[in-house]
């Protein structure tokens, strides 16, 4: 799975949790908080993404990324490590 695939998966799950984003064009610099996601929404988006990928990441690591692009980078790097 490419990094862009991971980014698109995050965007898709964000749209599931926050239907108001259905027409939003996601950018790397987008912050879920700024798009209207509260802490529970952000946790749900992350959980849905990880479940979709059958990936386990310590929840504390998910607090590091400050935007969607950084979250995609983190998840993609974990996928690459798992594949190695």
The token duo for 66 is: 């400050």
CATH number at residue 23: 1.10.1200.10
**Number of domains composing the chain:** 1
Burial-class residue 74 by CB neighbours within 10 Å (0-12, 13-18, 19+).
Answer: middle
Question: Of 70, 76, 59, 80, whose CA–CA distance to 28 is shortest?
Answer: 70
pLDDT in tens, 43-76: 999 999 999 999 999 888 988 899 999 999 999 9
Q: What is the pLDDT of residue 83?
A: 87
- Structural domain harbouring 7: 3-83
pLDDT band at 31 (very low <50, low <70, confident <90, very high): very high
What predicted TM-score, i.e. pTM, was given to this entire model?
0.95
Give CA separation, 56 vs 45, 46, 79, 82, 84, in Å: 14, 11, 10, 10, 16
Does residue 20 surpass a pLDDT of 90?
Answer: yes
Residue 38 has pLDDT above 90, yes or no: yes
């Amino acid at each position: 799975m490419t990094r862009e695939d991971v980014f698109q998966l995050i965007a898709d799950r964000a749209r599931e949790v926050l239907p108001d984003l259905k027409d939003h064009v996601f950018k790397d610099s987008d912050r879920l908080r700024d798009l209207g996601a509260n802490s529970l929404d952000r946790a749900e988006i992350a959980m849905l993404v990880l479940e979709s990928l059958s990936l386990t990441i310590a929840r504390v690591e998910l607090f590091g990324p400050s935007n969607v692009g950084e979250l995609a980078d983190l998840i993609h790097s974990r996928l690459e490590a798992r594949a190695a």
